C-alpha cells in the first residue's frame, strides 16, 4: 500500500465515492493518519509546460467579466450537484449540497447527500469533516490549501485566468430558452487540479451554471449550479466549524511538530 495519503481534492470527492472507499478499506486497511495528513499538506509545484497559443480574446473577456462580478459581489450562495465519472468508464456517482463563499479566504461545502459532511474554510484554516467516509475524525489544514488543491472551485477558476489558463470559446448552447456561452480552460503550468475545464456561463447574469473538469487521473468531475445568488445573505454560522463531541481533531501542524489548535 502506498504511503501517500489522499490529496485535499480527493476528500471533496469522498462523499460521492464513499461506497468504493469503504470497500477498499475493508480489503487494504486504513491509511495511517500521519501519512494521510502529510499527503494532504504536500505543496503543489507548478511545472513548466510547453508554450501554449494565446487565449481567445472574446472568451477571455467573458471570463474576466464573470470574475469581476464574483469579486464585486463579496458573497456567493448556490446549490450544487456533483457527478464523478471514473476514467475506466464505470458507474458515475453523485452528491449534492450547498456552496457558500465570502471573499477569497472563506468558503464552505455543506453536503445534503451525504448529509452532515462539511468542508469549511474559516479564514484561518480549512476543516474537513466527512463522517460518511472518515468516521470520528476532523482534519484541520492550513489556510490557502483550498484554492491550490481545487477545493475552492471558484478561486481555482476565476483567479487571474489570463495568466493561468489558455481560454477558448465553444459554440453557445440554449437551455430552457436561455442562451449559455461555453468556454474551455487549459492550465499554462503543471500541477493544476485539472487538465481541462469546460464552463457553461450565463452571460446576462455573469454566473457559472456548470463546470466539467477533467483531472490528470482521467476522472471527470461535473458540477451544475442552481439558485446562484451573488451578494446573498449568508447564515451567521456559514464558516464556523466546531468538531462534534468525541470527534478527534487531526491537526497537520501538531503531527509535523508544530503547535496543535486551541
- The pLDDT of residue 227 is 95
> Confidence band (pLDDT; 50, 70, 90) for 175?
confident
**pLDDT, mean of residues 169-198:** 90
**pLDDT, mean of residues 82-103:** 88
How many beta carbons lie within 10 A of that of residue 11, not counting itself? 24
- The pLDDT of residue 10 is 55
DSSP of the chain, one letter per residue?
Answer: --SPPPPHHHHHHTTTTHHHHHHHHHHH-PPPHHHHHHHHTPPPP-------PPPPHHHHHHHHHHHHHHHHH-EEEEEEEEEEE-TT----EEEEEEEEEETTTEEEEEEEETEEEEEEEESSEEEEE-TTTSTTEEEEEETTHHHHHTSSHHHHHHSSHHHHEEEEEEEEEEETTEEEEEEEEEESSTT-S-SEEEEEEETTTTEEEEEEEE-TTS-EEEEEEEEEEET----TTTT---PPTTPEEEEHHHHTTSPPP-
- The pLDDT of residue 174 is 87
pLDDT at 122 over 70: yes
pLDDT at 25 over 50: no
Task: Return d(Cα 218, Cα 197) in angstroms, integer.
Answer: 12
Structural domain boundaries in the chain: 8-43+52-255
Task: Return d(Cα 56, Cα 165) in angstroms, integer.
Answer: 11
Q: Copy the grid coordinates of residue 57.
A: 480574446
**pLDDT, mean of residues 113-128:** 90
Residue bearing the bigger pLDDT, 48 or 185:
185
Matching CATH number, 8-43+52-255, of 2.50.20.10, 3.40.50.1980, 1.10.357.10, 3.30.750.80: 2.50.20.10
Residues 52, 186: contact at Cβ < 8 Å? yes
Length of the chain, in residues: 262
- The pLDDT of residue 186 is 94
**pLDDT, mean of residues 127-140:** 89
**pLDDT, mean of residues 214-220:** 89
- The pLDDT of residue 207 is 94
pLDDT at 15 over 60: no
Distance of CA 77 to the CA centre of its chain: 15
Q: What is the average pLDDT value for the chain, to the nearest integer?
A: 78
Residues 222, 82: contact at Cβ < 8 Å? yes
> Confidence band (pLDDT; 50, 70, 90) for 236?
very high
> Confidence band (pLDDT; 50, 70, 90) for 261?
very low
**pLDDT, mean of residues 160-185:** 91
**pLDDT, mean of residues 146-160:** 69
- The pLDDT of residue 89 is 79
Least confident segment among 22-36, 58-72, 102-116: 22-36
**pTM for the predicted model, two decimal places:** 0.72
Distance of CA 199 to the CA centre of its chain: 14
Residue identified by cell 450562495 is: 77
- The pLDDT of residue 88 is 85
> Confidence band (pLDDT; 50, 70, 90) for 194?
confident
How many beta carbons lie within 10 A of that of residue 115, not counting itself? 12
Amino acid at each position: 500500500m502506498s504511503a501517500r495519503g489522499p490529496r485535499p481534492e480527493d476528500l471533496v470527492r469522498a462523499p460521492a465515492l464513499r461506497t468504493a472507499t469503504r470497500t477498499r478499506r475493508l480489503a487494504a486497511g486504513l491509511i495511517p493518519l500521519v501519512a494521510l495528513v502529510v499527503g494532504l499538506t504536500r505543496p503543489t509545484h507548478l511545472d513548466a509546460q510547453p508554450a501554449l497559443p494565446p487565449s481567445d480574446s472574446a472568451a477571455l473577456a467573458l471570463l474576466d467579466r464573470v470574475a469581476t462580478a464574483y469579486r464585486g459581489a463579496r458573497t456567493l450562495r448556490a446549490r450544487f450537484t456533483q457527478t464523478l465519472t471514473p476514467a475506466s468508464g464505470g458507474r458515475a456517482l453523485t452528491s449534492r449540497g450547498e456552496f457558500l463563499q465570502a471573499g477569497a479566504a472563506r468558503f464552505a461545502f455543506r453536503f445534503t447527500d451525504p448529509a452532515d459532511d462539511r468542508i469549511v474554510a474559516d479564514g484561518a484554516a480549512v476543516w474537513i469533516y466527512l463522517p460518511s467516509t472518515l468516521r470520528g475524525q476532523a482534519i484541520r489544514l492550513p489556510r490557502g490549501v483550498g484554492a491550490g488543491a481545487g477545493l475552492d472551485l471558484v478561486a481555482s477558476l476565476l483567479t487571474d485566468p489570463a495568466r493561468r489558463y489558455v481560454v477558448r470559446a465553444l459554440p453557445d448552447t440554449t437551455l430552457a430558452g436561455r442562451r449559455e456561452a461555453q468556454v474551455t480552460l487549459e492550465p499554462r503550468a503543471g500541477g493544476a487540479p485539472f487538465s481541462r475545464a469546460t464552463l457553461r456561463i450565463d452571460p446576462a447574469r455573469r454566473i457559472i451554471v456548470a463546470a466539467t473538469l477533467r483531472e490528470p487521473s482521467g476522472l471527470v468531475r461535473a458540477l451544475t449550479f442552481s439558485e446562484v445568488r451573488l451578494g446573498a445573505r449568508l447564515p451567521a454560522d456559514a464558516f464556523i466549524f466546531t468538531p462534534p463531541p468525541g470527534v478527534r481533531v487531526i491537526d497537520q501542524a501538531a503531527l509535523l511538530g508544530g503547535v496543535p489548535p486551541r
